[in-house]
Structure 1
């Protein structure tokens, strides 16, 4: 072996991407044994694994993420001694298939040609592969027992995690069993809303978890090789049925939005092909273009799921904080985090706000939220924080409402809502507040500041909000508000979010609609 060859091999063995290309073999969709060359998505995942110990991947069906992770497991165990990689599946057939893939990759390593580079296989049984260098790969099923008990894994990969039973307990068990600097990767298609995987994904997406999120849409480059035959079939069908290949001029509104987000015409033809035999909602669940589609719910939903998803697919990002110069200094610290601005203040406009106040200030409880609409019904800004006590939140509310022309504001007065109302009125002399009409026991009409949420008033409030949203009288811009609306349900006669999710922005948005419909002005 000459020096140049040694140098090349050293470089290959130090790079997972080069190692896969040169030494890992897989069976492609055409049933051919070929080198495992990482595509763009797999390269991105590799980069994230290198940089982040905790990774969560949401994806469409059959994305090939597990293949990439197994190749990485083989690489880790071949190039490093005393590694313990745990591959966890949600059912025995899946675990068996994954372990067969592990053995296939291991058996196709060029040990005879490079015996010094590849440790020999010491043991290869039903669910365990042990190499002579002390490294081990174990494939197991997520059952009721704690995963990883009695082990000290260096890396754990959880496949289809959303289908596990007792997800939170299983994940906690794994985290506690990890060696120092060990890592965990989670990949899964979605399985509804009422589970821990959904809540973990939502927290990760908002930067409230140690897990870094990565979503793979149905049109991702990852699928271009995996679906090559299907894409060809769909294109042939389209030419036969429509007389030509799909072009940009033929796209409907949803297809144009997908094209703008990175989907190409071949995948759009494939989408049309699939929609012949399945409902749009079914397509969303199997082949989502964004994470909200993957978590689409059914059953007792209050809001039209398709309307929410259509709006989500056409959202524009909030204004960059570097482009906002007129905002008060007291609000600058919240920009881009708690405070999202979608439209700057227009002196020719009137504005309407809704506020939901929370008691928690520890960073773990409910949120205090503000939603502001302009007179045309377009959402101008959104604020949410679970770290501010009411007296600090009152300062934020006063400054933000005054910035938007002293917006006419409806505040939920339940619990600490009355504290905020009194602070705005008495401490800050803020007078442009919604007043609900009541009758006393003598039959006299009276008014009180704020909106009282009761078992009878809440459905009316939400129904007005639903009507305005679904008929297009308002235009929401805040993605988190739409996400909360997606899981807002009626259960046992009560309204709220499924799976212990927050609904604070739903309430503040509904109150902003109430303020706009009232259209009063007290200043």
Structure 2
């Protein structure tokens, strides 16, 4: 079949990699949710994804946004346009693998004969072409995948959060990837796991992956038929009236600010009635943090945390600038300038303050930070310090300066890590007397009072639960967005321990519950 000069020029234009979207929309037909074959029109989210893909990508998403479908499309295009290309599409279950392979074949046979390559094989869930390219659909299991393979096209790891051997499989697969390949790890989050860790590290710039997040609000174009049915059902039950924004609950009002329409709100209510709010958050999240919520795992109410973060933005709550901080000790001034120290209120005469202090080793990098949480007697946070580059002996000087500045406030210093040396320096070198103590007994049954907060499973559990209670009851007024971010990823583990999820930190959370422990105690030593 002869091709006109105009068509030849257009084909040459479409074959260029920067026109990947146009190639897909020109040559591939899709099957819509009603089963009809139609021209494949990518959604705005799918286009944004294709235009922004990097070498390594991690996608946290809501369900049913068509990511697998578009991955099949780019895999076909690359195998057709670039000979000797290998693409591997991996699903979490055999059933899902079967569905992906069916989508792949449907798209392949929708391509016009003139450009569709001849197949060498079409079995064992693999398409191989005469140009040396192939696309393999596989299932993640307990055995390592792609040992000995070279993946130079697309590697798609679908619903990665549901894989059984996440760490082992990722290690095996990444060794098979070349620099020219596009790696796409994609999943609904399903709580805290290697997927959520990889995504959080990518978002924090701590690994090589590029993060993407797509929520149910942005993916509205794929759900229009469902929205219409939900609206029809709603009106039938409410005398033909549609839900209005005035009738939204607090969470719906927050979602409306993200762009949720009344039609989506009605659909959302229907989905929640079929399962639960937690289940909806997991399957159709509006934020990444919401997608991480597994009922019972998150210590703090993440919805309340998010509302507080929004309030901080709306009320324009910001730390004071250095020129507005009156009477600050000289040793603290550089830390205000470099944002280690944030001050919302300067000390007020006659007010008692408590300082919770979590001491780290000060080794920098991705390691833990030394933190201070300062509260007045009414539970209002007035200041915060955070740095992972300050050594314990330097941190003691900072604690001393902050404590004396805040009316010789009560210091609650955790003894773990560098806390011992910090306490010694404060007590004996700095002569700081107003410090939290705990009671213990020696071998002669004598009562001994020791300075500092002794952290063990029992004392930490009590302190964390006290913080949760105070937070739930509104007894603390948190000003710090950094602390609220840490609270989102602070969880109760299966063994009953409280920790940040892998890839996150809880240093400010620790300083906060230490401060609350001091506020609950009767200790106060004027000096």
**Which residue is equivalent to 1:435?**
436
Q: Taking structure 1 as reference, are residues 503 and 170 closer, same or farther at Cα in structure 2, changes over 3 Å only?
A: same
Q: Which segment drifts farther, 38-47 or 150-159?
A: 38-47
1:43 to 40, 47, 58: 47
Query: Residues 312, 75 of structure 1: CA spacing in aligned structure 2 closer, same or farther, 3 A cutoff?
Result: same
Which residue does the alignment assign to 2:105? 103
Is the Cα contact below 8 Å between 1:435 and 1:447 reproduced in 2?
no
Separation in structure 2 between the aligned mates of residue 238 and residue 340 of structure 1, nearest angstrom: 52
Cα-Cα RMSD: 3.4
Is contact 1:90–1:161 with CA below 8 Å preserved after alignment?
yes
Between 404-413 and 126-135, report the one with greater CA deviation. Answer: 404-413
Do 2:320 and 2:344's aligned partners in 1 also have CA atoms closer than 8 Å? no
Q: Is the 8 A contact 1:433 1:449 kept in 2?
A: no
Residues 305 and 488 in structure 2, CA contact (< 8 A), matched pair in contact too: no
The aligned counterpart of 1:507 is 510
Aligned to 1:312: 306
2:30 corresponds to: 26
Q: Judge which range, 249-258 or 394-403, deviates more.
A: 394-403
Q: How does 1:284-433 map to 2 (within 5 A)?
A: 284-299=281-296, 301=297, 303=299, 307-316=301-310, 324-326=321-323, 330-331=334-335, 335=339, 339=340, 341=342, 344-346=344-346, 348=348, 352-359=354-361, 361=363, 363=365, 365-373=367-375, 376-379=378-381, 384-386=386-388, 388-394=390-396, 408-424=410-426, 429=430, 431=432
The aligned residue for residue 92 of structure 1 is: 94
Query: Could you give the per-residue CA deviations for residues 362-384 of structure 1, whole angstroms, max 9, x where no partner exists?
Result: 64554433334455534456555
CA distance in 2, matches of 1:394, 1:2: 79
Match of 1:225 in 2: 221
Are the equivalent residues in 2 in contact too, given 1:345–1:404 (CA < 8 A)? no
Aligned residues: 504
Question: 155-164 or 210-219, which moves further after superposition?
Answer: 210-219
Q: 1 CA distance for matches of 2:148 and 2:34?
A: 41
Residue 71 of structure 1, aligned match among 64, 70, 73: 73
Q: Per-residue deviation at 1:5?
A: 3.8
Q: 1:470-509 maps to which residues of 2 (within 5 A)?
A: 470-476=472-478, 477=481, 478-485=483-490, 487-489=491-493, 491=495, 494-496=497-499, 502-509=505-512
Could you say which residue in structure 1 is the equivalent of 2:329? Answer: none
Shift of 1:217: 1.8
The answer as to whether partners of 1:358 and 1:416 remain within 8 angstroms in 2 is yes
User: What are the ranges of 5 or more consecutive residues in structure 2 without an aligned counterpart?
Assistant: 326-331
CA contact (8 A) 1:330 1:399 kept: no
The aligned runs of 1:148-159 (5 Å cut-off) are 148-154=146-152, 155-159=154-158
- Whether the 8 Å contact between 2:486 and 2:500 is mirrored in structure 1 is no
CA contact (8 A) 2:486 2:505 kept: no
Which of 137, 140, 145 is residue 139 of structure 1 equivalent to?
Answer: 137
For residues 294 and 123 of structure 1, what CA distance do their matches in structure 2 show? 40
Aligned to 2:199: 201
CA distance in 2, matches of 1:402, 1:261: 44
Aligned CA distance change for structure 1 residues 103 and 245 (closer, same or farther; 3 Å): same
Deviations, residues 200-242 of structure 1 (Å, cap 9, x unaligned): 233223222222222222222x2x2321121112222332333
Paired residue secondary structure (1:169): helix
Q: Which string of whole-angstrom CA distances, capped at 9 and with x for unpartnered residues, describes residues 146-165 of structure 1?
A: 22211110131100111112
Runs of at least 5 residues in structure 1 that lack an aligned partner in the other structure? none
TM-score by length of 2: 0.84
User: Residues 379 and 283 (structure 1 numbering): CA distance in 2 closer, same or farther, change over 3 Å?
Assistant: farther
Contact kept in structure 2, 1:312 and 1:482, CA below 8 Å:
no
2-side partners of 1:321 and 1:47: how far apart?
A: 36
CA contact (8 A) 1:407 1:432 kept: no
Distance in 1 of aligned mates of 2:9 and 2:336? 53
Secondary structure of the corresponding residue to residue 460 of structure 2:
helix
Q: How does 1:454-473 map to 2 (within 5 A)?
A: 454-473=456-475
Query: Closer, same or farther in 2 for the Cα pair 1:245/1:121, shift >3 Å?
Result: same
Task: Indicate conservation of the 8 Å contact 1:84/1:135, yes or no.
Answer: yes
**Inter-partner Cα distance in structure 2 for 1:323 and 1:347:** 13
* Matched residue, 2:210: 212
